[in-house]
Amino acid sequence: MNGVRHQKWWGWGEEGIAFNHRDKPKLAPFVLDRVGIDLHAPGTPPPALSDIAVPASRLGGDLAAVLRGAVGDGHVVVEDEDRLVHTYGKGLADLVRVRAGDLPRVPDVVVYPADEDQVRAVVDAVVAADAVLIPFGGGSNISGSLTPPAAEERTIVSLDLGRMNRVLEVDEAAGLARVQAGVLGPDMEDQLGARGWTMGHQPDSFRHSTLGGWIATRSSGMQSDKYGDIADITRGLRAVLPGKVVVLRPLPSTSSGPSVREMILGSEGRLGVITEAWVNVHRVPENREIIAYLFPSWAAGMAAMQEIASSDATPSVTRVSDANETQFSLSTQKKSKGIKGKVSKALFAVLERRGWDLGNACLSYIGYEGGKDLVRRNRALVGKIVKKHGGISLGTGPGALYDQKKFDTPYIRDFLLDVGGVADVSETAAPWSRLMDVHSGTVRAAQAAFDEIGVKGFIMCHLSHSYHSGACLYFTFAFPPGTTDADAQLEKYWTVKNAVQQSFMDNAATISHHHGVGTDHAPWLADDISEAGTDVMVALLRGVDPGRNLNPGTILPPSREW
């Protein structure tokens, strides 16, 4: 595929990498108890590509010739597998549908430009032909932003930026780097690291997502407490529109009217194709460590996170799991041997004697970066706050393990699909004063949805990012749909997913903190930003793209599309 690495068409990540539960003796009993799925039962592997009927390409000869003239014959691809890879993202609904061969509309062609001039030529050709263009980065989107509208009759072009994958320059005095939008996270960090720099942005999808995708969906990373979200990191950019290029210089701050930079951030391809960006970069820190802590309750952990956010401490990661997620995390551990296992048992025995209910305990990870003095100072400040709220330190061992495995979690979803389980995520943000209500309300809403569809479900949560005024809560839910029929599975899934999203609205939270809007979250847009705010959004998108040629169907609710 043009030398561009893609994820497997039927699931997350790379071929040959999969989740394995057999070295985790507590996991199968935990899953059987919480959702009634037997992990030891024979599963149903994904189908072979040859079993999937991919609709024929509708690419006409005239547009094909123009595209080939723009990027070269070898970079205009109509093969089935390439088009299939570019049909869906990696949301739960995406995976269920692609495994079932449910392909109402597939891109007619995948085009791989090498530079901005080629992007401009492709965009102009697509608009001139009244076709549809969908930008594609790493394909990791989980909110429906990549899926072509089922009823779209026009030719659909998927524009894959994977060849545009270089760090172009570093302004060392300013701490800025100019980077092409198609670069994957690891490749960008390798190039920056070779010069002694880092951007510090590490979302869960880091290995399989791109800079342009992060900008287009307003991504956050695990270390955003220190480095900021992608909206903070992105200082300037270039975006191709029909017949023109938006050029935003990397200024530290500006008062140039409503921010065009902010308009393009989160625009999901509807305001043009992002080709490159100027981003904040930092010298690779002298020290980096993650410490694990344990709190006696969710309330204690949340209170500690709030106090850390308002203190003088400057950690790079602040994360705490609720009791359900903590129990799940403990169940995924490999069997402890020798002195390590004895120490763990002794610690838990001591906590029980102190009156802890270990079923309510909450695991936390807090990260520190910088010089030795700064790390030491931050650890001391955080340590006092943790102690004040009844928490204890578990040391660097669990934190190091978390740091090593933090990008592997999405593989569990594929494994659960194979054995008859449905699992997905929803995340939100709210002020500190509302977070406990958001958590309890969402857990209740999910449980009511499980009861409505007659399944034994499970929902867990963690706080993933902290801010001055609030934080992000990240929920994961799972249940056995009790059927292998894709439509029936998705009907039950949407009952739960919609209940979770509606709970966010009912509790004054947002529809998404960092996964974007896409089609999955669009129905709640007016609840989030108001009807008047939606009017502004409609006017903006209509004004920039009156022909609806740029990724139509995303962001706006179906009732507001034109």
User: How far is Cα 167 from Cα 113, in angstroms, rounded to an integer?
Assistant: 17
Would you call 409 helix, strand, or coil by DSSP? coil
- The Cα 536–Cα 529 span in angstroms is 10
Token digits of residue 469: 């005024």
| CB 497, CB 420: distance < 8 Å | no
Secondary structure E strands in 21-100 = 76-77
Question: What DSSP letter does each residue of 97-166 carry, written as one string?
Answer: HHHTT--S---SEEE--SSHHHHHHHHHHHHHTT-EEEEESSS---SSSSSPPTT--S-EEEEE-TT---
Strand locations in 216-281 (E): 234-241, 244-248, 273-280
Dist. CA 390–CA 520, nearest whole Å: 39
- Pairwise CA distance, residues 504 & 441, whole Å: 8
CA 225/CA 202 separation, integer angstroms = 11
Cα–chain center distance at 135: 17
Tell me how far apart the alpha carbons of residues 67 and 188 are, in angstroms, rounded to a whole number.
28
Residue type present at position 252: P
**Cβ-Cβ contacts under 8 Å for 143 (sequence gap 6 or more):** 89, 91, 217, 512, 515, 516, 517, 518, 519, 520, 521
What's the CA gap between 124 and 244, in Å, rounded? 9
Contacts of 193 (CB under 8 A, 6+ apart): 284
Residue 531's DSSP bridge partners are none
For 30-46, the DSSP string reads: HHHHHH---TTS---PP
Cα torsion 351, 305, 445, 11 to 10°: value is -90
d(CA 161, CA 272): 13
Residues β-bridged to residue 362:
295
In 10 A of CB 538, how many CB atoms? 17
Q: Per the structure block, which two tokens stand in for 261?
A: 């930079």
Catalytic residue (one of 88, 293, 402, 474): 474
Can you tell me the distance from the alpha carbon of 518 to that of 218, in angstroms, rounded to the nearest whole number? 12
Judge whether 227 counts as a catalytic residue.
no
DSSP for residue 360: G
180 contacts 164 by C-beta, under 8 angstroms: yes
Among candidates 449, 508, 422, which has minimal Cα distance to 473? 508
Catalytic residues: 474
